[in-house]
Chain A
Amino acid sequence: MYVKDGKKYFVFDSHLHFWDASPANWVKGAEEYAKGWIECFHAYQGLGPAETHWPLEKFQKYTVEDFERDVFVNGGVDKAVFQSTYLKEWYTTGFNDIEMNASLLERFPGKLLVNGRFDPREGTAGLEQLEADNEKYDLKGVKLYTAEWYKGSRGWKLTEEAAKPFFDKCVELGITNIHVHKGPTIWPLDKDAFDVSDVDHVATDYNGELNFIVEHVGLPRIEDFCFMATQEPNVYAGCAVVMGALMHARPKFFAKVMGELLFWVGEDKMLFGSDYAIWEPQWQIEGFLDWEMPDEDAFSDFPRLDENGKRKILGLNAAKLYGVEVPPELRGDVPAEEPASAESAVGVA
């Protein structure tokens, strides 16, 4: 729990990583990509407060002790989900595959969940791997990175026919939370890879069965994301990057983006995620609890966020989606049925 001004908050970090991007893990012949990827992430860290910046070497590979201090001790995180990200064409053992993330499960019992992943281009072998991962880790979610390279292909769409058996398998196995992360490439390359309309289609197809959490609120297509999310009861906003990249570097944009999300998506469908180790959770949580919509004309059209709303975004919504019990003293005045409810948006389609 995170304590601020005598109040206790339940924190569910819906998006973090334990990665190894050190040169020893770079795939031979793909060093340029492996190096570029982690340096790009490192640049994102530069958008947070200066005192939270790490040297590149530490950023490439950090220790379990770093993780414990940053996430649990300083961040007060109660529960966190690893969003496994493979990138095995660039990193020999993966950037942070499920095994690497899971190596921390026993070290911090009851604190961590791992999400799996799938890639429809892997076909039957991929389906079997998903089953095996579920058997081992009792998955409650998967992270899908659509821009991943695979055998000459530079990405995939959720609407591809080959993806359907994987979504059906998720339903069958009770893997209900589908985190979608768009990246810069997709087949065919002449299309907008960040387009979220494929999420729209599968969300409709699997309404009532699967939740779709769009990571980074669809950035850089936040407008498309909002127009879609307002119409789909099972689409949620993963707020990782919104806080990390904007709250400190661009506070006015942060306020407006929050305002738009509150208007179109609603406070019941927004999930805090630190995206650690890009950004440490502590300053994001502290800043978010301090944050208020500016009292200026330019912000007058936006809904306000009170303490209960902040509690939902920081932890209660994700806890609901992941079936995690929250101690009553950490719930504030939020009614049990409210977090993650299907309709809390002000703007209705």
Chain B
Amino acid sequence: MTLESRVLSELGTVYDPELDEPITTLGFVGSCVVTEDGDVSVRLRLPTPQCAPNFAFLMAADARAAVGRVPGLRHVAIELEDHYTGAEINSAVARGDGFADAFPGETRGELDALRALFQRKALIAREGRLLKRFDDPGSVKLGQLPGPDGERCRELRRALGIDASDDAPAFVTGDGSPVVDFARFGRMASLTALSLETNGGMCRDLLRVRYSGRAA
């Protein structure tokens, strides 16, 4: 594996926290340049200049952490471009500072609670997609959840501190308790999935319009 493909592969582990999709498949990595000496320059771009600063910060900071896991690099620069809080975010991420340092006086804390809130939404959305495959979802164990959605459910549960062992109940609410009322939960989960998918669709459309005619 070349250094560049390692960097790209690490960037693929960075998710848009709001959409629960990798920034690489969303097209948010505008460019990624790795020199022979191991200097990396990643430019991130978002669908609008007004995308929420908190989610934008998480993606930039996560990208920096992810690229930093690749051995043999010299200097890593992550730059969020064309964003109305780009200057604040870029300088904080370059310093390795947190969100509160990027926007002094404008926050009450870091972004852990926000991230967890959207991990819960993401988990419910994934479960919503899987639910239809089972006749008796109450009896299904986590290890039986198939494919990328199943794998992502396990990842999200680990991140949230929810039991992620194979024999744990497959379908849980956002706080980790097993689902009881599947009719209602299914309805809410499919709406949550639709919301994430619709937002993802709009983000892709806006990104395409915004950068049409410009090289990716």
Contact = CB atoms under 8 A, between A and B. Distances in A.
B70 interface: no
A184 interface: yes
A172 to B, nearest CB: 34
A190 B205 contact: no
A206 interface: no
Question: 8 nearest interchain CB pairs?
Answer: A46-B209, A36-B49, A184-B52, A188-B108, A223-B195, A220-B199, A190-B107, A43-B209
A192 B53 CA distance: 10
A154 B50 CA distance: 12
Given A189-B53, A223-B191, A256-B194, 6 more contacts: A47-B205, A190-B108, A191-B108, A221-B195, A226-B191, A264-B191
B195 A222 contact: yes
B52 A185 contact: yes
A43 B206 contact: yes
Residue among A46, A185, A190, A256 with max Cβ neighbours from chain B (10 Å): A190
Interface in B70-118: 82, 84, 99-100, 103, 106-111, 113-114, 117-118
B21 to A, nearest CB: 14
Nearest to A41: B48
Interface residues of B, number: 40
A189 B106 contact: yes
B133 interface: no
Nearest to B203: A220
Interface string B178-199: 0000000001100110110111
Contact of A188 (B18, B107, B202, B205): B107
Contacts of B113: 190
Given A184-B53, A189-B106, A257 B198 contact: yes
Given A47-B209, A250-B205, A253-B201, A190 B195 contact: no
A44 to B, nearest CB: 7
B201 A250 contact: yes
A239 to B, nearest CB: 14
B216 interface: no
B114 A191 contact: yes
17 contacts: A40-B49, A46-B205, A184-B51, A184-B53, A188-B109, A190-B54, A190-B99, A190-B107, A190-B110, A193-B52, A223-B195, A245-B205, A246-B202, A249-B201, A250-B201, A250-B202, A263-B187
A324 to B, nearest CB: 31
B209 A220 contact: no
Contact of A347 (B84, B187, B210): B187
B170 to A, nearest CB: 21
A15 to B, nearest CB: 18
Given A43-B48, A183-B50, A184-B52, A246 B198 contact: yes
Given A37-B50, A43-B206, A190-B54, A253 B187 contact: no
Contacts of A250: 198, 201-202, 205
Contact of B106 (A40, A187, A192): A187
Nearest to A90: B84
Contacts, number: 113
Contact of A227 (B188, B197, B210): B188
Interface of A: 32-33, 36-37, 39-40, 43-44, 46-47, 154, 183-185, 187-194, 219-223, 226-227, 245-246, 249-250, 253, 256-257, 260, 263-264, 347
A221 B187 CA distance: 16
Contact of A249 (B49, B188, B194, B205): B205
Contacts of A37: 49-50
Contact of B191 (A183, A188, A222): A222
Given A184-B53, A190-B114, A253 B188 contact: no
A245 B209 contact: no
Given A190-B54, A191-B114, A253 B49 contact: no
B73 to A, nearest CB: 30
Contacts of B187: 263, 347
A191 B103 CA distance: 13
A189 B205 CA distance: 26
B114 A184 contact: no
A306 to B, nearest CB: 23
A184 B206 contact: no
Nearest to B202: A245
Residue among A43, A47, A222, A264 with max Cβ neighbours from chain B (10 Å): A43
Contacts of A33: 84
A215 B205 CA distance: 20
B83 to A, nearest CB: 8
Contacts of B111: 190
A180 B54 CA distance: 21
B191 A189 contact: no
